[in-house]
Amino acid sequence: MKNNNIKSVCVFASSSDFLEKSYYKDAARLGELLAAAGMDMVYGGSTLGLMWACANAVKSNGGKITGVMPQKLCDFGVSSKLCDEFHLTTGMRERKAKMDELSDALIALAGGFGTLEELAEMIVQKQLGYNNKAIVILNTNNFYDKLIEFFDVIISQNFCKCAPDGLYYVAQTPEDAVEYLKNYTPVFKALTREELYAKQ
């Protein structure tokens, strides 16, 4: 059965303004498609990088954007005044929790260590059954190829006791990413206590 309850999508992405142009193009296209699909966006709240390219496109195409930012980063003067909602947090950990709370699904665009940390935490949350949200990795310019290979190593060498089917989805285009969300069916089964602690 398709999941038609995805109304708000958390987008993790780089805050760099110095990337190759195709990354911003894909981010903006994703924002257009999210808005067209009636999906609002939760993001880091800044006016920088891929996160802003996507958020600005959502907003420009009639969608709602919600920003979540730690006080320390807000003090840097990089928060967007165009957010329909804006939440201040005490730190990065609280920020991630709030973004998770406000969203029904998530998409990771190209990004640095912060994006990687956010993505990994959400995969673990789903693996352990805290949620069954759609997790999409948008692989612009094959950016995530090596990471996906590493994920395969983690699984093949039993550092992860589950098959990746339904745990996350790798999209090659913004269109692919949004189409996956539109048709998302929660098929991943979280680990049971017996599976988690079973001997190899």
Contact criterion met (CB below 8 Å) for 2 and 93: no
* End-to-end CA separation in angstroms for the chain: 34
Alpha helices, DSSP H, located in 4-161: 21-36, 49-60, 71-74, 92-102, 113-127, 145-156
Q: pTM score, two decimals? A: 0.92
- By CB atoms closer than 10 A (0-12, 13-18, 19+), residue 75 is exposed
Say which residue, 124 or 195, is predicted with more confidence: 124
DSSP letter at 65?
E
Q: Which of 174, 93, 96 is nearest to 136 (CA)?
A: 174
Largest CA distance in the chain: 53
Q: Tell whether the model's pLDDT for residue 198 goes beyond 70.
A: no
Q: Measured at the alpha carbon of residue 97, what is the angle toward residues 93 and 103, in degrees to the nearest 5? A: 145
Please indicate whether residue 80 or residue 158 has the higher confidence score (pLDDT): 80
Q: Per DSSP, what are the bridge partners of residue 8?
A: 40
Rounded Cα distance between 146 and 67, Å, is 30
Residue 15 has pLDDT above 90, yes or no: yes
C-alpha span between 85 and 118 (Å, rounded)? 21
Q: Which of 92-106, 125-139, 177-191 has the lowest mean pLDDT?
A: 177-191
Q: Tokens for 185? A: 């069916």
User: Per-residue pLDDT for 149 more than 90?
Assistant: yes
What's the CA gap between 143 and 155, in Å, rounded? 20
What is residue 46's DSSP assignment? B
Ordered structural domains, the chain, with CATH: 8-197 (3.40.50.450)
Arithmetic mean of pLDDT, 106-114: 98
pLDDT confidence of residue 3: 44
**pLDDT classification of 5: cutoffs 50, 70, 90:** confident
Q: Is the pLDDT of residue 2 over 60?
A: no
Report which residue type is found at 123: I
User: How large is the average pLDDT for residues 111-116?
Assistant: 97
User: Contact 65/88 with Cβ under 8 angstroms?
Assistant: no
pLDDT tens, 134-148? 999 999 999 999 999
Q: pLDDT class for 188, splitting at 50, 70, 90?
A: confident
Tell me the pLDDT tens digit for each residue of 70-102: 999 999 999 999 999 999 999 999 999 999 999
Mean predicted lDDT score pLDDT of the chain: 92
